Structure 1
Amino acid sequence: MSFNRMLVGASLAATLSLGTALRAETIDVTTVAGHPPVFLWVKTLSESFIPAVDAALEDSDITIDWTEAYGGTLAKVGGEMEAMEDGLAQVGIVSSLFEPSLLSLQNVTYVTPFGSPDVDLVLSTVDGMHDEIPAMRKLWEDLDLEYLGGGFGLEDYLLMTTFPVTSMADLEGRKINAPGPAVNWLKDTGAVGVSGNLTTYYNDIQSGVAEGVIVFPTAAAAAKLHEVAPYVTRVGFGAQFAGGIVANKTWFEDQDPAVQEALRKAADTFAADYRTGLEARVAGAFKAMEAGGAEISEMSDAERVTWASALPNVAMDWAKALDAKGLPGTEVLTTYMQHLKDAGVTLPRDWSVE
């Protein structure tokens, strides 16, 4: 090979290499969550969602340089939307549970107690309703957020008390802690709802401010609530949709289609891994409570019907209030109830019927 041909070959190789380098792109993306990684949804975002995005982009010329900002480092719990709105983060976990006004339609599970205990069914149902009912997706879009999917939530809520419970009548005059919307699950039952949260439950019960709590098993075990409220009654309030993975919509629309597709597919991976991880954690929570001396029982179907029937129709009130604001509250409620019935769920009360 002549020197000139070698020179031309080397020059061509360098040009091709430079062309590849020029085509390659690195995107800086910050993910945000107010909770720390000890919470499963944040752990799964870090350990499942991000690697899934990277894997989906392996055959492209695009790589992402991730910055993970969790546990209040960038935003407190409930402040994730503002962080994305301000451009401080591009992708994040947003809990619709903490946005009952802005993301009202997403809170349908919290106004329909005694739904399904099946986490996968509840989360996939509400997730899918975002495609069935455009107004649900529009609520995110109005906040300049793109709902990617990855619906996450909480397992079947139960009742923990300082006294045994076999019927709703046992609650008469008892003070029961409950988180925000779950206070409605105690209306007209004879119990006195006391608003609280995970940071106050143990001390409230220990000091007598409350005599029990409505809570989900994984949180109960972690907070060792069985030490002060050893009677654990599986009432069957149902699993709850709490939020999903979203991106700043303006930023998202500026991205290459490969990046958009990678983010959406990774949200599906997140959802599957989250639900599998949650099942394992729930099983571990019950074992830990039992080992700690908890007495675990299950409320009868008849008593569940009695309890559900005693409540005012908070779901219908919620739906009509949203209808009056121009939102499809009744459609969301009816659709959700119908999906549960189609899945074979036996409902002690159909909240879509007045």
Structure 2
Amino acid sequence: MIRSFKLAAFGLAAALGLSAMGDGAQAQTRELTFGEFGPNRGTRAAGIEWLDSQLRERTGGELGLNIIWGGALLGAKTAAQGISDGVADMGSIVPVYAPGKLISYEAADVPQFGDEWVGMRAVHELMNTNEAALAEWDAANMVYLTNYTTGPTQLLSKEPIRTMSDLDGKTFRATGPFVAALESAGASTVSVGQPKVYEALSNGTVDGSTTYYYVMKAYKHYELVDYLTELNMGQVLAFGIAMNKASFESLKPEHQEIVKDLGDDFIDYMAAKMYESRQSVKAELQEGIEGHTVEIVEPDGQMRAELIAIAEKDALSWLDKAADKGMDGDAMLGEFRALIAKYSEERDAKGYPWER
């Protein structure tokens, strides 16, 4: 109870903009509390640190981030509510861990689509322009800022998984449409946040987990498994950074604009890093990290096709969630798919931004 009170008080102080000053000669730096459930390592952590450095640079030192790592302030399952309540000014959120709170954002996970930059760009525009999405963020007392991506979904395991029959009888950590896909092959699934997967693998609760290259390295899962099946299924795009509405509105207008512009620039920065890390982390796992090597398994084509078909069919259950909230899910999905087509065409015509 005492710890919870102290954390809440700390978040409130940050929301009010309390920060240390120099000897009167230096301008005050307001440090916005950023709740991050992941560790201070890996590609995504580097992206958050880039946000901090850019925020300080673009505001002339008037704003910065006080990043609290590893779920010490907000965990994966408490992040959305914590930011909404003002426990942190901003932070990373995954709406699937806050059922019913941000249904419009979950639309981003319906298509099985693997291109990082196209996907991030499409969902960023959707969340900033779709009226139903904007209204839902407002009702949740949050402002959408920018997006992450997991990159294409893979499967780590203690034993090699090459066919659907290899899944039978095993237990995997999985979320969203990947639950139906794995269970269709006779596997059992459990839902835990990525920070808890290491423990679940260590104590034998799970035999493996749906994963992404950057996650496997950042959370050191390579210490506990020997195989990664390269499924290359869809990415998780309902995964980004939000800000408490009151904290955002307390910023000066010019700082609000800087924060929103920075969120836009973050898409290109993070997409490039995720794209590059897929190749580099794969090579590191094969060569060995800290004495641990991971074999990359190529599944048979039928297995991949079946899992994708089941995942896509299951993901369409999102339409029922949208209807329950009075949203036109078909229209929103149509708009999202049109944005995917728009940015796919831009990529094909101009290449990725970091290649131009």
Q: How high is the TM-score relative to the length of structure 1?
A: 0.74
Greater share of residues in strand: 1
- Does the CA-based 8 Å contact 1:145-1:248 persist in structure 2? yes
Q: Which residue of 2 aligns with 1:49?
A: 51
Cα offsets for 1:222-273 (capped at 9, x unmatched) = 4444455423211122221143333332343354321111111111233322
Q: Which residue of 2 aligns with 1:64?
A: 62
Q: Which residue of 2 aligns with 1:245?
A: 241
In the TM superposition, 1:292-311 aligns within 5 A as: 292-310=292-310
The answer to whether structure 1 residue 92 and structure 2 residue 95 are counterparts is: no
CA distance in 2, matches of 1:211, 1:198: 14
Cα offsets for 1:164-199 (capped at 9, x unmatched) = 33332432x231312332323323233232444445
- Does the CA-based 8 Å contact 1:52-1:269 persist in structure 2? no
- Does the CA-based 8 Å contact 2:109-2:238 persist in structure 1? no
- Does the CA-based 8 Å contact 2:109-2:235 persist in structure 1? no
- Does the CA-based 8 Å contact 1:95-1:243 persist in structure 2? yes
CA distance in 1, matches of 2:86, 2:194: 31
Cα offsets for 1:257-292 (capped at 9, x unmatched) = 211111111112333222233334333321232124
Q: CA RMSD in A?
A: 3.3
- Does the CA-based 8 Å contact 1:33-1:94 persist in structure 2? no
Deviation at residue 74 of structure 1 after TM alignment: 4.0
CA distance in 2, matches of 1:79, 1:325: 22
In the TM superposition, 1:96-115 aligns within 5 A as: 96-112=95-111, 115=112
CA distance in 1, matches of 2:198, 2:84: 36
- Does the CA-based 8 Å contact 2:153-2:211 persist in structure 1? yes
Cα offsets for 1:89-128 (capped at 9, x unmatched) = 434333334323201221234444xx22221122111111
Q: 1:222 and 1:50, CA in 2 relative to 1: closer, same or farther beyond 3 A?
A: closer
Q: Which residue of 2 aligns with 1:267?
A: 263
- Larger CA deviation: 321-330 vs 248-257: 248-257
Q: 1:339 and 1:301, CA in 2 relative to 1: closer, same or farther beyond 3 A?
A: farther
Cα offsets for 1:290-346 (capped at 9, x unmatched) = 12442213335544223333458222222123213202333333333454466389x
Q: 1:43 and 1:160, CA in 2 relative to 1: closer, same or farther beyond 3 A?
A: closer
Q: Which residue of 2 aligns with 1:121?
A: 118
- Does the CA-based 8 Å contact 1:221-1:288 persist in structure 2? no
The amino acid that maps onto 2:93 is V
- Does the CA-based 8 Å contact 1:34-1:78 persist in structure 2? no
What count of residue pairs does the alignment treat as equivalent?
313
CA distance in 1, matches of 2:281, 2:204: 25
- Does the CA-based 8 Å contact 2:84-2:245 persist in structure 1? no
- Identity of matched residues, %: 19
Q: Which residue of 2 aligns with 1:332?
A: 332
In the TM superposition, 1:125-204 aligns within 5 A as: 125-148=122-145, 150-171=146-167, 173-181=168-176, 182-198=178-194, 201-202=197-198, 204=200
SS at match of 1:307: helix
CA distance in 2, matches of 1:323, 1:194: 27
The amino acid that maps onto 2:40 is P
CA distance in 2, matches of 1:187, 1:141: 36
Q: How high is the TM-score relative to the length of structure 2?
A: 0.74
Q: 1:252 and 1:237, CA in 2 relative to 1: closer, same or farther beyond 3 A?
A: same
Deviation at residue 86 of structure 1 after TM alignment: 4.7
Q: 1:37 and 1:110, CA in 2 relative to 1: closer, same or farther beyond 3 A?
A: same
CA distance in 1, matches of 2:206, 2:250: 51
The amino acid that maps onto 1:106 is Y
The amino acid that maps onto 1:267 is G
CA distance in 2, matches of 1:170, 1:267: 42
Ranges in structure 1 where 5+ consecutive residues have no aligned partner: 1-23, 346-354
CA distance in 2, matches of 1:196, 1:90: 25
CA distance in 2, matches of 1:83, 1:212: 30
- Does the CA-based 8 Å contact 2:103-2:321 persist in structure 1? no
Larger radius of gyration: 1
The amino acid that maps onto 1:53 is L
